[in-house]
Structure 1
Amino acid sequence: MTTALDDERRIRRIAFSQKLSHWDVKISPYLYISPFFILFTVTGLFPLLYTAYVSVHEWHLIGGEGDFVGLDNFSFVLQQPQFWIALRNTFSIFLLSMIPQVTFALVIAAVLNENLRAKTFWRMGVLLPYIVAPVAVTLIFSNMFGDQYGLVNNLLGQAGIAPVQWHSQELPSHVAIATMVNFRWTGYTALILLAGMQAIPRDLYEAASIDGASKPRQFFSITIPQLRPTLIFVIVTSTIGGLQIFDEPRLYDQYGQGGANSQWMTITIYLYNLGWGQLNFGRAAAVAWLLFLIIVLIGLVNLAITRTIAASNDITATPRKSKTVQPRRQKVTA
């Protein structure tokens, strides 16, 4: 009797363990990836949807939620000249910062990829500007680019060049802000590109050296094509960050309004002025959603361009099948 009960219990334990292992195989993968989705829902998706809800309402900081207004906040923002000035300034600073940043980062990564002495020191050195506080970088560079007593204008004066109004004129202010962005982010971008370069097989370079290819030819014929996925990642992330720039233009002067004539006012500063200056959260949320749609649109354009380039490269890389001429069979006569 005892043996029968023990066997029955053993069978139940085996069945339970098999059922548990079955559910473990089915559910455990989703549990492992659930923290990311939970965190994304709380910090990403919910604020995005809530901002969309706020953008279609009259919403003030003191009065709170008001009436449903539909797309009136969007139409109001699109009719404001300040929005289009801010959009133009954002794209100008973005282009002046992203193109030199990626170019210099490629050169720095190529140099760091060589057999240098104390290469760990140099790799950590290029990352130092990234860990400096943005406030400190902005305060230093705003004094360097001072209109009267700045270091840059003093150097230009010694070279016989007239002083540049870095805070009064539009394009010089964009150049100064883009210089700050490049100072902070070029080293970080270079390390990402360096990681991509180190993943390239060394056999390709050895074969190119045997064929007599020079270092510049190897860089443009091997490094750049093999680095295409990393370059796509860098360009997309630089686009997202560049269109959301806030710290550098906000702290470029003591007022933080984007200049007396909105010379360097970006979309994020315009959004900040609507939300905390005019206390109109509905219109500020509409600007935030317009910026989100612009970033998504530019991301899709980048994706389409990169897919087109990849497809064209694949077509040119596939060798054409050569037609082999089969010899004619001769009839054997008896």
Structure 2
Amino acid sequence: MDSTYQKGKKGKKKNLSESKKDRVSAYLYIAPFFIIFGVIGLYPALFSFYLAFQKWNGLGEMSFVGLNNFKIVLEDPLFWKSLYNTIVIGLIGTAPQIVIGIILAILLNVAFLRFRSFFRVTIFMPYITSMVAVALIFSVIFSDHQSSLANYVLGLFGADPVSWGTSEWGTKIAISIMVFWRWVGYNTIIYLAGIQSIPNDVYEAATIDGASKFQQVIHITLPLLKPFILLTVFFSTVGALQLFSEPTVFLGASAFTRDEAMTVVMYLYRDAFKLQSFGTASATAIILLVVIIIFAAINTYLTSGIGKKRRRG
């Protein structure tokens, strides 16, 4: 009896030790992700939050200044100008992506379209194109010269040439078109994947009931695409408010000395790496985080109504 009890006890200990080993091995497998995230993600974020309350030039000693960095940023007219530029360019450059992306995805999914694979790859190509190549292309298209492609097209409609690289709205529109051109294919592919996940039986049943193609898009495709639309709206909002590469590359060396297209991230970069004011740069980063959360919540709320039936009063 005692020997049986001891054997059972040893078996339980063995099972417990094996379960502990399994747990340890599982933690070791996922440890690299958390280590990398902690080093290049969590630590910089926490350090930036700490810097927002310090005055530091990157080399000397830090001095605590409380909320003074936030006061400096919020009282700076250039910050509000950069926020205005970011919102305007974001709206012009990203809002049409949602509508055009859905239309392109529907067209790329029709059965009678030939060379669908070619068109899908072509639409996605701008997303993987080098920013240097994009800058060269758009600097030629939107050149200030009267014979540039953009001004030539405007001339066909009787419009006067535009100084795309120096005028207030010319710069904003050129950068917005660059943003749209680069990212619309990305959203289109996501919507296309969402459309292809919708069962054909739903469309067949709607056809039997007499629903037209337009009615099927409104009452079937769009409501079932809602999770994908919410995803792209969220990503587009975050990306638009973090705009940096496109205006920097388009304007070149003068990007940080002009305010026509300076974005919040460019303002942050200027403070940190050109003025060596890491405290105000970190404060700007925190303010930008709050702005992103607010706009993401608003856009998510507005797009969450897609597919919901309106109640009659």
Q: TM-score, normalised by structure 2?
A: 0.88
From the CA coordinates, give the structure whose radius of gyration is larger: 1
**Distance apart, 1:123 and its partner CA:** 1.7
In structure 2, C-alpha distance between the alignment counterparts of 1:190 and 1:176, rounded to whole Å: 21
In the alignment, structure 2 segments of 5+ residues that lack a partner are: none
In structure 1, C-alpha distance between the alignment counterparts of 2:127 and 2:288, rounded to whole Å: 25
Partner of 2:176: 178
Partner of 1:289: 286
Instruction: Name the CA shift for 1:23/1:185 in 2 (closer, same or farther; >3 Å).
Output: same
Give the ranges of 4+ consecutive aligned residues of structure 1 lying more than 6 Å apart after TM superposition: 7-13
SS at match of 2:165: coil
**Distance apart, 1:269 and its partner CA:** 1.1
**Distance apart, 1:303 and its partner CA:** 4.1
**Distance apart, 1:259 and its partner CA:** 6.3
Give the length in aligned residue pairs.
Answer: 309
What amino acid maps onto 1:173 in structure 2?
T
Q: Say whether 1:100 aligns with 2:104.
A: no
Q: TM-score, normalised by structure 1?
A: 0.83
Verify the 8 A CA contact 1:197 1:223 in the aligned structure 2: yes
In structure 2, C-alpha distance between the alignment counterparts of 1:97 and 1:278, rounded to whole Å: 29
Partner of 2:140: 143
**Distance apart, 1:46 and its partner CA:** 1.5
Verify the 8 A CA contact 1:168 1:259 in the aligned structure 2: no
Q: Say whether 1:313 aligns with 2:313.
A: no
More moved, 200-209 vs 11-20:
11-20
Instruction: Name the CA shift for 1:195/1:246 in 2 (closer, same or farther; >3 Å).
Output: same
| 1:120-269 aligned within 5 A | 120-148=117-145, 149-257=147-255, 260=258, 262-269=259-266
Partner of 1:91: 87
More moved, 203-212 vs 119-128:
119-128
In structure 2, C-alpha distance between the alignment counterparts of 1:39 and 1:301, rounded to whole Å: 32
**Distance apart, 1:299 and its partner CA:** 2.2
Q: What are the superposed Cα offsets for residues 256-298 of structure 1, whole Å, 9 maximum, x if unpaired?
A: 42564x1111111111111122111111111111111111222
- State the superposition RMSD in angstroms: 2.8
Q: What are the superposed Cα offsets for residues 64-101 of structure 1, whole Å, 9 maximum, x if unpaired?
A: 33210011011001101000000000000000011111
- Residue 43 (structure 2) aligned to one of 20, 32, 46: 46
More moved, 109-118 vs 239-248:
109-118
Partner of 1:325: none
Instruction: Name the CA shift for 1:271/1:204 in 2 (closer, same or farther; >3 Å).
Output: same
Partner of 2:107: 111
In structure 1, C-alpha distance between the alignment counterparts of 2:294 and 2:197, rounded to whole Å: 31
Q: What are the superposed Cα offsets for residues 145-196 of structure 1, whole Å, 9 maximum, x if unpaired?
A: 1111421112322443210121222222111101111111111111111111
Verify the 8 A CA contact 1:129 1:187 in the aligned structure 2: yes
What amino acid maps onto 1:214 in structure 2?
S
